[in-house]
Copies of this chain bind each other. A is one copy, B any other.
Amino acid sequence: MTDNNTSKNQPPRISVGLYRSQEDPDTVSSSDDARQFGHDFIILPIVSSSYKRFISGQNEQLDNTKNSKVIEEWRKNHVFFRDDLVIKNTDLVDYVVGQVSDWLDFDSPDHNVQINSEIALRQQISWACHLGISAVLISFPSTNSIMNYARSLNSILGSLTYTHVWCKIPLVLETEIMTDESRESSVTWERWNKFRVLCEHNSKLSIALEISAQLPDDKDLERWFAEPIKAIILPTSIFLTNAKGYPVLSKKHQTFVRKMIKYKPNFVISCNADSDLHENNGLAAYQEYIRYLNRTIPELTQIEQFANGYQDFLQSPLQPLMDNLESSTYEIFERDNTKYIYYEKAIYHALLDRVPPESDETTVIMVVGAGRGPLVTRSLSAAEKANRRVRIYALEKNPNAFVSLQNMKTEVWGDAVTLAFSDMRLWKPPEKADLLISELLGSFGDNELSPECLDGAQKFLKPDGVSIPASYSTFISPISSTKLYNEVAAHKDFVHFETPYVVMFQSASELTESQEIWRFEHPNKSFEVDDNEMPINNYHNTRYSKVTFDIKQSGMLHGIAGYFESILYKDISISIRPTSHTKDMFSWFPIFFPIKTPIYLPSKTKLEIHFWRLSASQKVWYEWCVETSYSSGVDTISLGSPSIHNVSGRSSWIGLLS
């Protein structure tokens, strides 16, 4: 947890570079210019146009036979001649992004042009790496024939260590602006997606997204947020002119850029010719404007503040039964005032309903898994507001938290509260309770074993006793996120793909709205008990559910997001589902279940997700499986091969033993 108070009012500086599409510029004077106009870096070609002679095989200064031999020698040795280079040495290395020649043609019908282009690509990137340039910019494949380009690039990506490759992708292809069809406007994403898949999702390959004057609709924009965008290219031509003659962006562009700033990309002002510039302030005005947008982004919400630094960071879910939580973990969760306000409200209404106003009857409350006591405090507060007598038991099995409870009893609560040190599945209560209060929910609802714990604790309840929460439902949705996929894949093993993670989504997009897969209710009267009033086995807490999603817009499926909604008491609920998220409540990030192989989903795909909650004597685990099919109206065909993840809990599980 980092303290973000200092940064709240001063957004971090953003990086803005310059990109002038000139052939054969002078490195030193161009860089000086860019610096003078306030840019943090400049994009310059790696080689000069003279180098073209190797690609086409045409050289006016040599006869054909001689030239052919020169090319073959170059193919063999590919040494640079100093004169062919724009970036000649390491002098400006920290200030420069190298541009690979955009006249290479990897999928030319001429096999020799293919070969020469591949050699040139390798040679240029290799030179940039040698110099220690941090990124090179490559062109987006101009047609759908990208196979040989992808293969060539992929064979290079594997050897990169420091240098990254930015693929320049136009947000909208020129030709697309002409048509209304939404499918057309997704051509660039589809092509990028295929390119990236062919490059084995290599994390060294990212996007430099070139923004167009016309923005596609929000759905189309949305999916770029799930992609690895390292740079946003803003041509000067898309800027409008404000009343004072300064360049500004349209409202829609402003929103997009401000949203993008969260992802901390590099911005690039691109300028074809000086005639493209706006009246006032020349080249400097654009970067100043982008920095102005950065300075004036709205303040972070409470959840954003809390989540800052945790975006897209994969955390293992808590195992509160097996592990004892640390004090700092309690500390963090106790800060979530919103959650406790809802709990207090639920307890308050339950107390009102339980005992008539005039009665002096005492309501027995048991807080199970009391931790350091926040729900005890809220129970006391609810009782005071409701003007009802209560007797409270606080039960906790973590010996360290139990010390905090003793401190609270001594210093604050006094006789109203009785402490008990025990696992709630084993405790023998001195009396039965009216209200059983717990906060055992995980991001997926039941994933911290709330059902099993409350099954054990419900024997404390009077026959008409009430559990808060009364129920919780689990929701899932299909998710696209290159970032999260790469994080999981980086482990290079099988186990991490069969493990759920708690994660605050940022570079991720929901492919469609979440749906409920199952629900738990408490108290649960449906199971048989043994002599100790414990369930004979745990099969009643297993679940199997299949939900079907209609995919309208094509996308790449990387995993499944999980959320919960919980009814605490009657109409008092909390939720972490995106569409019903309890405002300002930050205790739970969503949960993410990866899938082993990303699945391309064309539009009109039907996606079936199968989910299981399974149990053996000592553990609980989830299995999941994704099936996709496409319906043309006439035929329905299955896409891809479904694979059941985490069979028998082989990779991840939650321990039932404390």
A75 to chain B, nearest CB (A): 5
Taking a contact as CB atoms under 8 Å apart, the answer to whether A200 and B536 are in contact is: no
Residues of B close to A637: CB separation below 8 A:
602, 604, 630
> In the complex, which of the residues A542, A604, A639 has the most CB atoms of chain B within 10 Å of its own CB atom?
A639
A520 to chain B, nearest CB (A): 14
Residue A641, interface by CB 8 Å: yes
Residues of B close to A641: CB separation below 8 A:
197, 597-600
Decide yes or no: A198 and B528 within 8 Å by CB, A69-B536, A151-B623, A648-B158 being known contacts. no
Decide yes or no: A151 and B68 within 8 Å by CB, A158-B648, A544-B114 being known contacts. no
Residues of B close to A642: CB separation below 8 A:
194, 197-198
Residues of B close to A647: CB separation below 8 A:
151, 154-155, 158, 200
Decide yes or no: A198 and B643 within 8 Å by CB, A148-B544, A528-B68, A528-B72 being known contacts. yes
CA distance A143 to B612 in the complex (A): 20
Residue A495, interface by CB 8 Å: no
Residue A386, interface by CB 8 Å: no
Q: How does the 8 Å CB contact mask read for A614-658 relative to B, with 1 for contact and 0 for none? A: 000000000101010010111101111111100110100000000
CA distance A638 to B198 in the complex (A): 14
Residues of B close to A633: CB separation below 8 A:
632, 634
Residue A76, interface by CB 8 Å: yes
Q: Which one of B154, B623, B638 lies within 8 Å of A644 (CB-CB)?
A: B154
Taking a contact as CB atoms under 8 Å apart, the answer to whether A635 and B604 are in contact is: yes
Taking a contact as CB atoms under 8 Å apart, the answer to whether B536 and A76 are in contact is: yes
A12 to chain B, nearest CB (A): 36
Residues of B close to A602: CB separation below 8 A:
635, 637-638
Q: Which residue of B lies closest to A116 (CB)?
A: B539
Residue A466, interface by CB 8 Å: no
Q: Which residue of B lies closest to A640 (CB)?
A: B640
Query: In residues 62-93 of chain A, which contact B (Cβ within 8 Å)?
Result: 68-69, 72-73, 75-76
Residue A147, interface by CB 8 Å: yes
Q: Which one of B111, B114, B197, B542 lies within 8 Å of A643 (CB-CB)?
A: B197
Decide yes or no: A115 and B542 within 8 Å by CB, A155-B648, A625-B147, A641-B598 being known contacts. yes
CA distance A542 to B118 in the complex (A): 12
Copies of this chain held together in the complex: 2
Query: In residues 135-150 of chain A, which contact B (Cβ within 8 Å)?
Result: 147-148, 150
Taking a contact as CB atoms under 8 Å apart, the answer to whether A635 and B632 are in contact is: yes
Residue A404, interface by CB 8 Å: no
Residue A204, interface by CB 8 Å: no
Residue A546, interface by CB 8 Å: yes
Interface size class on chain A is 35 or more
Residue A610, interface by CB 8 Å: yes
Residue A280, interface by CB 8 Å: no
Q: Which residue of B lies closest to A604 (CB)?
A: B635
A155 to chain B, nearest CB (A): 4
Taking a contact as CB atoms under 8 Å apart, the answer to whether B528 and A69 are in contact is: yes
> In the complex, which of the residues A76, A148, A200 has the most CB atoms of chain B within 10 Å of its own CB atom?
A76
Residues of B close to A194: CB separation below 8 A:
638, 642
Taking a contact as CB atoms under 8 Å apart, the answer to whether B75 and A537 are in contact is: yes
Decide yes or no: A115 and B200 within 8 Å by CB, A150-B644, A630-B637, A640-B640 being known contacts. no
Taking a contact as CB atoms under 8 Å apart, the answer to whether B111 and A73 are in contact is: no
Decide yes or no: A536 and B158 within 8 Å by CB, A198-B643, A634-B632, A635-B632 being known contacts. no
Residues of B close to A115: CB separation below 8 A:
539, 542
A82 to chain B, nearest CB (A): 23
CA distance A599 to B600 in the complex (A): 14
A236 to chain B, nearest CB (A): 37
Taking a contact as CB atoms under 8 Å apart, the answer to whether A200 and B643 are in contact is: yes
Residues of B close to A612: CB separation below 8 A:
148, 151
CA distance A207 to B72 in the complex (A): 57
Residues of B close to A75: CB separation below 8 A:
536-537, 539
Q: How does the 8 Å CB contact mask read for A150-186 relative to B, with 1 for contact and 0 for none? A: 1100110010000000000000000000000000000
A197 to chain B, nearest CB (A): 5
Residues of B close to A600: CB separation below 8 A:
638, 640-641
Residues of B close to A76: CB separation below 8 A:
536-537
> In the complex, which of the residues A114, A148, A194, A602 has the most CB atoms of chain B within 10 Å of its own CB atom?
A602
Residues of B close to A623: CB separation below 8 A:
151
Query: In residues 368-394 of chain A, which contact B (Cβ within 8 Å)?
Result: none
Residues of B close to A539: CB separation below 8 A:
72, 75, 112, 115
Query: In residues 575-605 of chain A, which contact B (Cβ within 8 Å)?
Result: 597-600, 602, 604
CA distance A543 to B632 in the complex (A): 37
A161 to chain B, nearest CB (A): 16
CA distance A556 to B513 in the complex (A): 33
Residues of B close to A644: CB separation below 8 A:
150-151, 154, 198, 200
Residues of B close to A72: CB separation below 8 A:
527-528, 536-537, 539
Other 16 A-B pairs with CB < 8 A, given A75-B536, A632-B634: A73-B536, A111-B542, A115-B539, A147-B546, A147-B625, A150-B644, A154-B644, A155-B648, A158-B648, A158-B650, A600-B641, A604-B637, A630-B637, A632-B633, A632-B635, A633-B634
Q: 13 A-B residue contacts at CB 8 Å?
A: A72-B539, A111-B543, A147-B625, A151-B623, A151-B647, A197-B643, A198-B643, A200-B643, A200-B647, A597-B641, A602-B637, A604-B635, A630-B637
Those 4 A-B pairs whose CB atoms lie nearest each other, nearest first: A632-B632, A602-B637, A72-B536, A76-B537
